[in-house]
A and B are shown apart, each in its own frame.
Chain A
Amino acid sequence: MSSSIGHVTPQSLSFSEPLALRSGAQLRDYTLVYETYGALNADKSNAVLVCHALNASHHVAGTYEHQPKSEGWWDNLVGPAKPLDTNRFFVIGVNNPGSCFGSTGPMHINPATGKPYGADFPVVTVEDWVDAQARLLDRLGITQLAAVLGGSLGGMQALSWSLRYPDRLRHCIAIATAPNLSAQNIAFNEVARRAIVTDPDFHGGHFYAHGVVPRRGLRVARMIGHITYLSDDVMAAKFGRSMKAEQIGYSTQDIEFQVESYLRYQGDKFSDYFDANTYLLITRALDYFDPAREHGGSLTAAFAGAKAKFQLASFTTDWRFSPARSREILKALVDNRHDVSYAEIDAPHGHDAFLLDDPRYHGVLRARFDLIAKEFGG
Chain B
Amino acid sequence: MSERKDLELIAEMVPPGSRVLDLGCGTGELLAHLCQHRGCSGYGIEIADENVLACTQRGVNVIQLNLEEGLALFDDRSFDVVLQLDTLQHLRNTEKMLIETARVGRIGIVSFPNFAHLPNRFAIFRGRMPVTKTLPYQWYDTPNIRVGTYADFEVLARKNGLRVLDSFGLKEGRPVRRWPNLMAATAVFKFDRG
A339 touches B61 (CB 8 A): yes
* A363 to B54 Cα, complex, angstroms: 10
Give chain A nearest CB distance to B48 CB in angstroms.
10
B57 touches A334 (CB 8 A): no
Check B52 for interface membership: any CB of A closer than 8 A.
yes
Check B65 for interface membership: any CB of A closer than 8 A.
yes
Instruction: Across the interface, name the chain A residue whose C-beta is closest to B56.
Output: A367
B55 touches A363 (CB 8 A): no
Check B153 for interface membership: any CB of A closer than 8 A.
no
Known: A334-B43, A335-B75, A371-B59. A364 touches B65 (CB 8 A): no
Taking residues whose C-beta sits less than 8 angstroms from the other chain, chain A's interface range is 20 to 34
Q: Mark A331-359, 1 if CB is under 8 A from B, else 0.
A: 10011010111111110000000000000
Give chain B nearest CB distance to A354 CB in angstroms.
16
Residue among A311, A331, A340, A364 facing the most chain B CB atoms (10 A cut-off) = A364
A364 touches B53 (CB 8 A): yes
A341 touches B61 (CB 8 A): yes
* A195 to B63 Cα, complex, angstroms: 41
Check B132 for interface membership: any CB of A closer than 8 A.
no
* A60 to B90 Cα, complex, angstroms: 43
Give chain A nearest CB distance to B103 CB in angstroms.
15
Give chain B nearest CB distance to A239 CB in angstroms.
29
Check B14 for interface membership: any CB of A closer than 8 A.
no
B56 touches A330 (CB 8 A): no
A340 touches B61 (CB 8 A): yes
Check A360 for interface membership: any CB of B closer than 8 A.
yes
* A360 to B54 Cα, complex, angstroms: 11
Instruction: Across the interface, name the chain A residue whose C-beta is closest to B72.
Output: A331
B49 touches A341 (CB 8 A): no
Check B19 for interface membership: any CB of A closer than 8 A.
yes
* A346 to B66 Cα, complex, angstroms: 12
A199 / chain B contacts, CB cutoff of 8 Å: none
Q: Mark A273-315, 1 if CB is under 8 A from B, else 0.
A: 0000000000000000000000000000000000000010000
Q: Using A330-B73, A340-B63, A341-B61 as known contacts, list a sample of 7 further A-B pairs with CB atoms less than 8 Å apart, ordered by residue number in A.
A: A330-B63, A335-B75, A340-B61, A341-B63, A346-B49, A360-B53, A371-B59
Interface residues of B (CB under 8 A from A): 19, 41, 43, 49, 52-53, 55-57, 59, 61-65, 73-75, 78
Interface residues of A (CB under 8 A from B): 311, 327, 330-331, 334-335, 337, 339-346, 360, 363-364, 367-368, 370-371
